Structure 1
Amino acid sequence: MPELPEMENYKILLNQKIAGQTITEVQINREKSINLNPALFIKTCHHQKIIDINRRGKHLLFHLQNGQILLLHLMLGGWIYYGTEADKPKRTVQIRLSFGEQHLYFIGLRLGYFNLYNQREIDQHLAHLGPEPLSTDFSLENFLKRIGQKHGRLKTTMIDQEFIAGIGNCYSAEICYDAGIIPTKDIDDIGESEREKLYQSIRTILQKGIQHGGYMDNPLFKDDKLTGGFNDLCQVYDREGEKCNRCESIIKMETISSRKTFYCPICQT
């Protein structure tokens, strides 16, 4: 599932590709992927200019000239591609936004959605999200206060979108590895120095993920060399049975709250 770095990568690249462009056609192939009657959805978006694309947590927000906002959450299996009909992936497309000869394809939206809202509805829909971990407002003091109010296993807290927005399975594993803390540990057993290290690792790993285009390896456009670059840099995520790059012990996987959790039993304590 795309997390903060993947969606931030999409945000940056899509602003370069389609910000300021006008939607020339809207194609809806799966009505369940949107929240309105298709005719109304198409009418509201058609001939509208994309003013800007922002991100909140794991969501992308496409701001239209008429003040409406398209809210995208890819969920598990969702991804997007920008290009022509000739070079698009041979996959089922749920939604397509056209910009002349170039198109933005939304693929794998079986669980995800691309909904149309006004600003008030957007505010309500995203009100439950916790702070942005790379925001200047997300200080060490803020983090220590928030985690001080939590109990239970670290993994469960790290992926709680009300605690911090944008972190999921992949980056929670990589953050805990970087901090040297086992994700199965109870928060009450994590000392203040470890909590401070965890805060630094959150910022370090997420910034590194963005810098390398996230871990999802589907390119956003033809000849895209950035997207997915972090996949080869993952230290523990999806590496069960492989050797740890630090100590050469074997990476383990456990299931916590129905989520696969990867860690090094030696480096993480």
Structure 2
Amino acid sequence: MPELPEMENYKLLLNQKIAGQMITDVQINREKSINLKPEPFKNTILHQKIVNINRKGKHLLFQLQNGHVLLLHLMLGGWMFYGSETEKPKRTIQVRLSFGENHLYFIGLRLGYLHLYNQKEAEQKLSHLGPEPLNYDFTLNEFIYRLGKKHGRLKTTLLDQEFIAGIGNCYSAEICFHAGILPTKDIDQLEESERGQLYHSMKVVLQEAIKHGGYMENPIFKGDTLTGGFNHLCQVYGRAGETCRRCGTLITMQMISSRKTFYCSNCQKYSTISSLPAGFFFV
């Protein structure tokens, strides 16, 4: 499932491609992917310019000239492609927005959605989300304060979108590995130094993942060489049974809250000596 780095990558690339462009046609192939009947949906967005594209957590917000917002959540299996009819992948398209000869294809929206709201409605839909972890005003003190109100396993807390917005299964694993802390550890058992290391690792891992285009490999347009570049840099996620690149121990996979959780049982024994500096894993 796309997480904060993937959606930030999509935001940046799509702003380059379609910001300022007018929607010239709308095709709805799966009515369940939208929240209105096709006709009012089309009539509201047709011939509207995309002013810009913003992100909140794992959502993208397409801001339209008329003040409405297209709110996208790709969920599991969802992705996008921008290009001409001859360039599009041979996949089922749920929704297509046209910009002249090029189109933005929404693919795999079986669980995901593209909903249309006014600005106030969009804000209400996202009001439950926690802070953005990379915002300058999300300080270490704020992180420690919010963490102090949580209990239970670290992995489950990092996945809680009301705690922090945008972190999912992949980056919770990578953050814990970078911090040298087991994701199975209970929040109440975390030392103050561990909490500080988690905050630092969260910033490092998410920024590096954005820099390398996230871990999901489907290109968003023909010739896209950025998207998915972080996949081969993942240290533990999806690597169960493979050797740790740091110590050689086999990577463990364990189910926590019905989610696959990956870690190195040797490296993830936090100490100030074994914690690694920023960028160590991303050479």
For the aligned pair, the TM-score class normalised by the smaller chain equals over 0.9
Moved over 3 A (4+): none
1:197 aligns with 2:200: no
1:219 aligns with 2:228: no
Unaligned runs of 5+ in 2: 270-283
Amino acid at match of 1:68: H
Report Cα offsets for 1:45-65 as digits up to 9, x if no partner.
Answer: 100000010000000000000
Deviation at 1:188, TM superposition (A): 0.6
Deviation at 1:110, TM superposition (A): 0.1
The residue aligned with 2:147 is: 147
Deviation at 1:123, TM superposition (A): 1.2
The residue aligned with 1:257 is: 257
Taking the aligned partners of 1:223 and 1:123, their CA distance within structure 2 comes to 35
The residue aligned with 1:54 is: 54
Secondary structure of the corresponding residue to residue 230 of structure 2? helix
The residue aligned with 1:110 is: 110
Taking the aligned partners of 2:74 and 2:120, their CA distance within structure 1 comes to 22
Report Cα offsets for 1:191-239 as digits up to 9, x if no partner.
Answer: 0000000000000000000000000000000010000000000000000
Amino acid at match of 2:66: N
Deviation at 1:119, TM superposition (A): 1.0
Taking the aligned partners of 1:114 and 1:268, their CA distance within structure 2 comes to 39
Amino acid at match of 1:114: L
1:125 aligns with 2:125: yes
Report Cα offsets for 1:114-165 as digits up to 9, x if no partner.
Answer: 0000111111100100000000110000000000010000000000000000
Amino acid at match of 2:184: T
The residue aligned with 1:136 is: 136
The residue aligned with 1:244 is: 244
The residue aligned with 1:188 is: 188
Unaligned runs of 5+ in 1: none
Taking the aligned partners of 1:64 and 1:149, their CA distance within structure 2 comes to 38
Taking the aligned partners of 2:66 and 2:121, their CA distance within structure 1 comes to 15
Taking the aligned partners of 2:261 and 2:142, their CA distance within structure 1 comes to 26
The residue aligned with 2:278 is: none
After TM superposition, the structure 1 = structure 2 runs for residues 12-91 of structure 1, keeping only pairs within 5 Å, are 12-91=12-91
The residue aligned with 2:273 is: none
Amino acid at match of 1:23: I
Deviation at 1:14, TM superposition (A): 0.2
Amino acid at match of 2:76: L
Q: Percent identity over the alignment?
A: 72
Amino acid at match of 1:139: T
TM-score relative to the length of structure 2: 0.95
The residue aligned with 2:274 is: none
How many matched pairs?
269
Taking the aligned partners of 1:9 and 1:187, their CA distance within structure 2 comes to 31
Taking the aligned partners of 1:235 and 1:154, their CA distance within structure 2 comes to 18
What root-mean-square deviation, in Å, do the aligned CA atoms of Structure 1 and Structure 2 show?
0.4
The residue aligned with 2:97 is: 97
Taking the aligned partners of 1:90 and 1:256, their CA distance within structure 2 comes to 35
TM-score relative to the length of structure 1: 1.00
The residue aligned with 1:158 is: 158
Deviation at 1:185, TM superposition (A): 0.4
